[in-house]
């Protein structure tokens, strides 16, 4: 079993290995396999990359990303300009649902509101907003209003697990409670656990995924 010190060292090495990140202002702490990232970076993309790097390290059970985004003065933009670009990008990325999404920006921080049918639309809206220059963060308040029957969720997710080469479907059980999904079982790695949750979220109409899968097989 890996020690917290081993994990901490590997996370720091992984951050230094990533050419898209300047790790000089990122702090790493580990307790019982849970990594806490602190400090600051120059873009939201770097914050997300740091989190992704940490989750890849063997032995990591979870990541708390407390890194702040501090934009250089040259990258700051007026809020109305940011809003207009977000609206334009949403129409390009989500042409059939963009009209149901509203963006509110204050000092570069974006709040998304509205309704969509699929979770991928909700997530893509947030990803789209984060790519806009001048954005320092996003709160995603978009709601999912499904049209699929809840009883179909369990079968669709189980079938998707069986098709996925990264998931051992035999060791995961799926429970559907309305539009909420509960995942149970034991997998080989944190990456496999996260992949199972990602696949479950792709099912039409899912509004919540309770990932209770354990790591340790």
To the nearest whole percent, how much of the chain has pLDDT over 70? 95
Q: Could you tell me which of 141, 134, 146, 147 has the C-alpha nearest to residue 101?
A: 141
* Mean pLDDT (whole number) for 52-56: 91
- pLDDT score for 217: 61
Choice between 205 and 100, residue whose per-residue pLDDT is larger: 100
Say how many domains are in the chain. Answer: 3
Q: Could you tell me which of 117, 130, 127, 142 has the C-alpha nearest to residue 202?
A: 117
On whether both 139 and 165 belong to a single domain, the answer is no
For residue 167, give the CATH number of its domain: 3.30.1340.30
On whether both 157 and 209 belong to a single domain, the answer is yes
Q: Could you tell me which of 161, 159, 163 has the C-alpha nearest to residue 193?
A: 161
Residue whose entry in the numeric block shows the structure tokens 């899968």: 213
- pLDDT score for 9: 94
* Mean pLDDT (whole number) for 142-153: 76
- What is the full DSSP assignment across 144-193? E---S-GGGHHHHHHHHHHH-TT--GGGEEEEEETTEEEEEEEES-HHHH
On whether both 78 and 140 belong to a single domain, the answer is yes
Domain containing residue 205: 150-215
């Amino acid at each position: 079993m890996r020690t917290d010190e081993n994990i901490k060292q590997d996370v720091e090495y992984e951050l230094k290995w990533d050419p898209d990140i300047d790790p000089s202002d990122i702090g790493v702490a580990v307790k019982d396999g849970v990594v806490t990232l602190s400090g600051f970076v120059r873009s939201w993309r770097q914050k997300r990359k740091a989190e992704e790097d940490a989750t890849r390290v063997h032995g990591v059970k979870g990541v708390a990303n407390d890194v702040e985004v501090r934009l250089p003065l040259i990258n700051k933009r007026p809020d109305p300009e940011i809003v207009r670009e977000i609206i334009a990008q949403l129409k390009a990325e989500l042409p059939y649902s963009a009209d149901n999404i509203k963006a509110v920006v204050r000092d570069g921080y974006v709040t998304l509101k509205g309704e969509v049918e699929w979770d991928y639309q909700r997530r893509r809206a947030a990803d789209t907003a984060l790519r806009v220059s001048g954005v320092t963060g996003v709160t995603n308040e978009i709601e999912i209003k499904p049209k699929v029957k809840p009883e179909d969720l369990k079968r669709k997710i189980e079938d998707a697990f069986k098709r996925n080469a990264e998931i051992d479907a035999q060791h995961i059980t799926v429970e559907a409670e309305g539009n909420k999904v509960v995942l149970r079982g034991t997998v080989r790695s944190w990456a496999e656990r996260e992949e199972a949750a990602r696949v479950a979220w792709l099912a039409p109409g899912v509004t919540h995924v309770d990932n209770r899968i354990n790591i340790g097989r």
